[in-house]
Amino acid sequence: MRPIIAGNWKMHHGPEEAARFGEALGIADLPPVELVLFPPAISLAALRKAVPEGVALGCQNVHWEDRGAFTGETSVEMVRGAGAEFVLVGHSERRHVFGETDDQVAKKMAAVLRADLVPVLCVGETLGERRDGRLEEVLLRQLDAVLDPPELRSLLRDGGQRMVLAYEPVWAIGTGETATPADATEAHGILARRLLERLGKEGTNPVPILYGGSVKPGNAGELMGADRVDGVLVGGASLDSKSFLAIARSVA
Ligand code: PGA
């Protein structure tokens, strides 16, 4: 499995800036990695035209319905039409700033999987939850919300559809605080054990687990070297093509 280097631009880079980023993204000398960029939905088409072949795109959020009176929302088919293959589901800003619930996250996961797109499910604890010793409880609650519904389990287990998981401790996002490699290994271990219990080994694509939260060129190598870390989901440091490429190059 190639390490995944994913960039979540959040609400940065409109179409023109996205095109400039794509044109500057020289990937010829990179080690074998899978690059995925999540621009704002409005910049997907411009970035698709500008990035070199082999760079995958994703959308930061979708609605679970196919169409209808949902002002401001984007459907999975629209995401695909704009040239994206991945979708972030349940990012902590969606959960904590926009009040997205586990139930809504599960509906979005189902819509993404049914459309044959690849969900990147984000889970993570707040600082308070970590201090209260609730790391495992919170991670498993967020993961079980998508593994418990029978339709989702069957899409993932029997349909063999691909999914990616991202562990993003909320206290490390955009704060400059990073989990230690040992923290990442502990959390990834909790998630990997649950995936195995619920999905088993057969008929399932292995689920890569990414670490996210203040990943920078200076710490990416150490984090990616940690046990059970299959890649990184990068926010702020993915906005500049040079620093995004430096992170991709730090894969040993
Ligand atoms: P950050 O964001 O790298 O800026 O901390 C990570 C994320 O929110 O995915």
**pLDDT tens digit sequence for 15-26:** 999 999 999 999
Average model confidence (pLDDT) for the chain? 94
Rounded to the nearest angstrom, the distance between the alpha carbon of 172 and the centre of ligand 1 is 8
In this prediction, residue 158 carries a pLDDT of 79
Per-residue exposure over 118-152, b if at least 16 CB sit within 10 Å of its own CB, e if not: bbbbbbbbbeebbeeeebeebbbebbebbbebeeb
Binding site membership of 58 for ligand 1 (Cβ less than 6 Å): no
Closest ligand 1 atom to the C-alpha of 122? 9
Catalytic member of 91, 93, 100, 125: 91
Residue 176 clears pLDDT 60, i.e. is over it: yes
What average pLDDT score do residues 103-131 get? 96
Predicted structure pTM score: 0.96
Write down the pLDDT at residue 159.
76
The pLDDT value recorded for residue 252 is 66
> What confidence tier does 177 reach under pLDDT thresholds 50, 70, 90?
confident
pLDDT for res 204: 58
Average pLDDT over residues 143-162: 89
213 alpha carbon to ligand 1 midpoint, in Å? 5
The separation between CA 160 and the C-alpha centre of its own chain, rounded to angstroms, equals 19
* Residue 234 beta carbon below 6 angstroms from any ligand 1 atom: yes
Can 91 be counted among the known catalytic residues? yes
Whose Cα sits closest to atom 3 in ligand 1? 235
At 113, is the pLDDT very low, low, confident or very high (cuts 50, 70, 90)?
A: very high
Query: Residue 68 Cα, ligand 1 centroid: separation in angstroms?
Result: 31
pLDDT digits (tens, 9 = 90+) for 15-60: 999 999 999 999 988 999 999 999 999 999 999 999 999 999 999 9
Specify whether 168 is catalytic. yes
The pLDDT, as a whole number, for residue 96 is 94
The answer, yes or no, to whether residue 251 has pLDDT greater than 90, is: no
Which residues 6+ apart lie within 8 Å of 6 measured at CB? 35, 36, 37, 38, 58, 86, 120, 166, 210, 231, 232, 233, 234, 238
Mean pLDDT of 143-152: 94
Question: Can you give the pLDDT at residue 250?
Answer: 93
Q: Which atom of ligand 1 is nearest to the CA of 175?
A: 5
Looking at residue 110, what is its pLDDT? 96
- Phi, psi (rounded to 5 degrees) for 139: -60, -45
Give the mean model confidence (pLDDT) for residues 159-167: 90
Kindly report, residue by residue over 191-221, the tens digit of the pLDDT: 999 999 988 865 556 899 999 999 999 999 9
Domain tally for the chain? Answer: 1
Q: What is the pLDDT of residue 202?
A: 55
Q: What is the pLDDT of residues 62-106, one digit of tens each?
A: 999 999 999 999 999 999 999 999 999 999 999 999 999 999 999
Residue 135 sits in a domain of what CATH number?
Answer: 3.20.20.70
Ligand 1 close to Cβ of residue 235 (< 6 A) = yes
Range of the domain at 223: 4-251
- Confirm or reject: Cβ of 169 under 6 Å from ligand 1: no
Residue 24: count of CB within 10 angstroms of its CB: 13
Task: Determine whether the shortest distance from the Cβ of 168 to ligand 1 is under 6 A.
Answer: yes
8 lines ligand 1 (CB under 6 A): yes
For ligand 1, whether the C-beta of 7 sits within 6 Å is: no
Q: Tell me how far the alpha carbon of residue 29 lies from the centroid of ligand 1, in angstroms.
A: 25
The residue whose CA has the least distance to atom 2 of ligand 1 is 235
